[in-house]
Structure 1
Amino acid sequence: MRAIILAAGLGLRLQQQAGAQFPKCLLRFDGTTLLERHVRMLNAAGVQDIVLALGFEPQQVEAEVDRLGLAQRPEIVINERFDLGSVLTVHTVADAMTRGGDVLLMDADVLYDERILHALVAGESTNRLLIDRDFEAGDEPVKLCLKNGVPVELRKQLMADLEYDTIGESVGFFRFDEKTARRLAEIVADYVNGGRAKMPHEEAVRDLLLEGGHTFDTADVTGAPWIEIDFPGDVTRAAQEVLPQLTRPVGAAQ
């Protein structure tokens, strides 16, 4: 199993409001960066093969990787056009998507409980989505909608006539088996070659879900604390509300 962590973005909304000049994966909570939390928890879960997709200020992230002194250093791939959409970043790591085995595709800007990762990696080879049914309505969350357990939508804004029986927020972590990961890489390549490199990668994942031919199971992580960090207020919520509920990752700094 291979984990691809998407950490190329500029984090423009956070920078504009807070003046941050470093990749969001280097945000520290209780003295530990988001990146270290990701890597330590993945390693503890048995995932040693990690690929970091970088772009903005990659040298800062590489310095953090060096500081961690990991037994198996993550592979680093750089998207020089990180100012475009995350679909281009996924395209940049196409080799890692298609070299075999299950693939975990993970946003870097998430502070989360280890129960969420366990739900993602548990069991044999599979395609898996994560859903949190306890979410705040609005335009910001990426909604995952299911009907009879089958994904029917993955978007921030939903069509009024959409039929579904379950709705929640997508955590932003996906698991794909070898065949499905290869298909996603093809869809992403079509986006880039068709002039849609500025799109978020969730749009390509949505196309994958809706085209049929792939079976997905959905792990309900409602109740497990997590937060995606986009705005200064998210940093505050992460520190004050989410962090106190987390189990310290194995091997993290004390």
Structure 2
Amino acid sequence: MRPRVDIVCRTREDDPVSSHSGQAAPRALILAAGAGVRLHDGRPNGEELPKALLRFGGRSLLERHLASLRAAQVTDISIVVGYREDAIRKELDGNGGASARLIINPDFEKGSIVSLLTGREILESGTPVILMDADVLYDVRLLARLLRADKPNCLLLDRDIEPGDEPVKLCVANGHIVDFHKRPKIPHEWHGESVGFFRFTQDAAAELAKRAQAYVESGLTSLEYEEPIRDMILASPPDRFGFEDISGLPWTEIDFPQDVIKARALLPLLGE
């Protein structure tokens, strides 16, 4: 099924656009389609809000994303939605003129790789793309570091990583990314946790769309979106993808109930 694209408060053509180090201004693609199964103990009943609408300090994660992107002069924003897209639409309608394009993923119960492919129009748009998980509370300096990094294709890495298989690990050897997986398969010198924010050149973004399509067409729809990113990194020269070490800046991904507690504790540390 083809995704449906809706416009909520279309971005104005006269919005300010940053040069972003002389490159074309990137478009943002936020993945917000999931039902938050793990947050709700595997039993979301259709009444719970999407994780993007969790509120901290009186503001939803989505509101924070949009404000951070606008402050960085990233004004072309698309959000892949699925579960309770009505609630996200309502949030945007009531958010004082927030600009975003909604892309509807009707198969949101499958893996996030399907949501990634649902946003292929953005990935293949011929512009750099900022890809973001919606379920992250973060200091705005993380986004600034991503946008200002001198690596055109850039991933964010935090050396403060919890043990176990849950964190997605960005693995480094000789200063280069050599693996990207929850359970790394390639020897490396050290690793950190991926924040879930990425900056891709137009070529890398288009390649990512093709790799995601190959997975989905092969029936591998239960996989997470990191798989085609890993494939792309491993198939590329060592210097094509770089990383920005943001260790020490506060952030958390919200997957489990304890993450909500952690997020509330982080609030006083965030640069607004």
TM-score, normalised with respect to structure 2: 0.86
Structure 1 equivalent of residue 184 of structure 2? 158
The 3-state SS of whatever aligns with 2:179 is strand
Residue 160 of structure 2: aligned partner: 134
Alignment partner of 1:24 out of 39, 51, 58? 51
**Distance in 2, Cα, partners of 1:113 & 1:70:** 23
Alpha-carbon distance in structure 1 between the residues aligned to 2:207 and 2:167: 25
Among 75, 84, 88, which residue is 2:101 paired with?
Answer: 75
Distance, in Å, in 1 between the alignment partners of 2:31 and 2:73 is 20
Shift of 1:247: 1.6
Paired position in structure 2 for 1:252: none
2:207 is matched with 183
Specify every segment of 5 or more residues in structure 1 that has no aligned partner in the other structure, as ranges: 249-254
Hey, what does 2:242 align to over in structure 1? 217
Deviations 1:139-178 (A, max 9, x none): 110010011122111111123xx32123100111111000
Pair 164,124 (structure 1): closer, same or farther in 2 beyond 3 Å = closer
The match for 2:66 among 32, 39, 42 is 39
Matched length: 244
Task: Tell me how far apart the structure 2 counterparts of residues 176 and 202 of structure 1 sit (CA, whole Å).
Answer: 14
Check if 1:199 corresponds to 2:226. no
Q: Report the residue type matching 2:269 in the other structure.
A: Q
| Matches of 2:213 and 2:151, distance apart in 1 | 24
Residue 11 (structure 1) aligned with residue 36 (structure 2): yes
Which structure has more RCO (C-alpha within 8 Å, separation ≥ 6)? 1
1:88-167 superposed matches below 5 A: 88-122=114-148, 126-159=152-185, 162-167=186-191
Aligned to 1:171: 195
Work out the CA distance in 2 between the residues paired with 1:211 and 1:220. 23
Distance (Å, rounded) in 1 between the aligned partners of 2:80 and 2:71: 21
TM-score, length-scaled by structure 1: 0.92
Tell me if the contact between 1:26 and 1:35 (Cα under 8 Å) persists in the aligned partners: yes
Alpha-carbon distance in 2 for matches of 1:201, 1:158: 16
Partner deviation per Cα, 1:52-100 (whole Å, 9 max, x = no partner): 00000001001001111236x2011010010000100011110111112
Aligned partner of 1:237 in structure 2 is 262
Once the two structures are superposed, residues 89-131 of structure 1 have per-residue CA deviations (whole angstroms, 9 ceiling, x without a partner) of 0111101111121101100000000111011111578100111
Equivalent-residue separation in structure 2 for 1:39 and 1:139 (angstroms): 31
How far, CA to CA, are the matches of 2:250 and 2:119 in structure 1? Answer: 29
**Aligned equivalents of 2:268, 2:42: Cα separation in 1:** 25
Which structure's residues are more often helix, by fraction? Answer: 1
Q: Is the 8 A contact 1:14 1:230 kept in 2?
A: yes
Could you tell me how far 1:137 is from its partner in structure 2?
Answer: 1.0
Local SS of the residue matching 1:41:
helix
Q: Give the Å deviation of 1:17.
A: 6.8
Gaps of 5+ in 2: 1-25
